[in-house]
A and B are shown apart, each in its own frame.
Chain A
Amino acid sequence: MIRAALLLLALFGGTAGAGELFNERGLRADRYRAPLPDSVPHGQRVDAGRARALIAEKDLLLIDVQAITVRPELADLGITFLPNKPRLHIPGSHWLPNVGYGELDETMDGYFRGNLARLTGGDFTRPMLFYCVADCWMSWNAVQRAHHYGYRQLYWLADGTEAWAAAGFELVEGQPLPLEPH
């Protein structure tokens, strides 16, 4: 209830003058760090404990979508993502930065779609968990985008690595999957 009220505030209060918060596909398109809603379309919100149980029960793909600086102009040199500090994430995760923005260009869309296809071997029923950090809407977007690609067992760890750490679970340093030059 409180979260719903906050969401309303997010929608109607204090954001005039900024870009539109949601685009025509219903994805978050501005202010990517803000309090989160209780649920995500086409996915199931889970807490850290449930996420860990799912990892044990299922062959769950863990997708970290935490954003970092991208330098597509350096792709020919093999340097595409430039983390400015180490990213600690859930062990076994695949880090696909920046795929949770409201709009993706062709390169980033291909990066996300292609990596999911590779990681699932084309199995659209493969369960996946998306996350980033606390109050981060990019994982909320990523779940819906994965559904649009055709994936059907989607989980959302809202508050991401902070929720995981707050539950006392281990984090390890991650590396972003490279953005291949086209």
Chain B
Amino acid sequence: MRALLGLLAAALATFAGSARADFDYQLEARELAAGVFVVEGSTEHFTFENGGNIVNIGFIVGDDGVLVIDTGPSRLYGEQLRALIERTTDKPIVRVINSHHHPDHFFGNQAFADLPIAALPQTIAAMQAEAGGFADNLYRIVGNAMFGTEVVMPGETLAAGDIRLGQRRIELIALSGHSVADLVLLDHPSGVLFASDMVYYQRAATTPHANPEDWLQSLDRLEGLDFDILVPGHGPLGDAAAIAQTRDYLQWLTAHLDAAAARGADMAELMYAPLPERFANLGAMPAEYMRSVTHLYPRYEERYLPQAAVAEVQ
């Protein structure tokens, strides 16, 4: 009885101290193929209302355990994801993988801190460098859905190649270009490709750490893979058309920025340039395009600046 009262008191204390600890992401798991699930987020930017749930998370159920692909933007998301997985299957979670270092893909790690969490080594280094700033930003934008979120780093490093989940062969493909290191997973039994943020579908690509040339080369490799269903990092399920859309946008964006720099356009003018119709209605547009101008345009300006400066002197 006394123990029970103690528990009750502890529960009440937790409740009294919990500010918006009740934020409900309303996560749902959708089974794409036997044992392969996706938890789909919105195509918006981070907002107070969506609690940062703008991301697609996956999990794969093998014979004797579950592999989780990314963990969402906050502690609460991670906890609700774990509860969802535990409702969906009675197999234990055996491993968590973070596809890359952006916060919406790993700030839920806290809910899996008792399990092996793994990522590519360059991803872990980038997380260590940037996690604090990401946390500050997410608190600012998303607010209290972030409540109690503390960064938990992956404790294991991954390398490209095949891993086994029971009988399942899962291929890990190490790419880059969206960020310093982007991990893609291909589940061979089902043909489901978890493309991480290499692919955005019906949602504008984000570019704060992008190298567009590397990214386009990585898309070449993705197109060469044999898959049936593609899960993009952001946006609805797709197929090869999702890769083509990401490629189309990156090619347009880079050519557009290059041409603007060549004619000496200033950044403010460029930010308000009208978007081609095929991109204007992508999720998070035009805000994402404007952010990309601020991320990428200075590099294009630099390409032309020396010549312009020389011409001015002459």
**A residues lining the B interface (CB < 8 Å):** 6, 9-10, 13-18, 30-35, 47-49, 133-135, 158-160, 162-163, 165-167
Residues of B close to A49: CB separation below 8 A: 16
Tell whether, in the assembled complex, residue B132 and residue A166 are in contact, meaning their CB atoms are under 8 Å apart: no
Question: Among residues 226 to 271 in chain B, which have CB atoms less than 8 Å away from a CB atom of chain A?
Answer: none
List residues of B whose CB falls within 8 A of some A CB.
Answer: 13, 16-21, 127-133, 135-136, 139-140, 144, 146-153
CB closest chain-B residue, reference A159: B19
Is A14 touching B144 in the complex (CB atoms < 8 A)?
no
Describe A's contact surface by its main secondary structure. Answer: loop
> Do B20 and A14 touch across chains, with their CB atoms under 8 A apart?
no
Closest to B21 in A: A166
Q: Given the complex of chains A and B, what is the CA–CA distance between A35 and B135 in angstroms? A: 11
Contact of B17 among A13, A15, A33, A163 (CB under 8 A): A163
Q: Lowest 5 A-B CB distances belong to which pairs?
A: A162-B19, A14-B151, A18-B132, A33-B139, A17-B129
Known: A13-B153, A162-B144. A48 touches B16 (CB 8 A): yes
Task: State whether A35 touches B19 (Cβ < 8 A).
Answer: no
How many residue pairs link A and B with beta carbons under 8 A? The number is 82
Q: Most chain-B Cβ atoms within 10 A of its Cβ — which of A30, A134, A162, A165? A: A134
5 A-B contact pairs sorted by A residue (CB < 8 Å): A6-B148, A14-B128, A14-B150, A16-B128, A31-B136
Instruction: Report the minimal beta-carbon distance from A135 to chain B, rounded to whole angstroms.
Output: 6
Q: B128 to A17, Cβ gap below 8 A?
A: yes
Q: Which residues of B contact A15 (CB under 8 A)?
A: 131-132, 151
**Is there an interface contact between A162 and B20, defined as CB atoms closer than 8 Å?**
yes
Residues of B within 8 A of A14 (CB): 127-128, 131-132, 150-153
Contact A34 B150 (CB under 8 A): yes
Q: How far is the CB of A132 from chain B (nearest CB, A)?
A: 11
Residues of A within 8 A of B151 (CB): 9, 13-15
CA distance in complex: A35, B131 (Å):
15
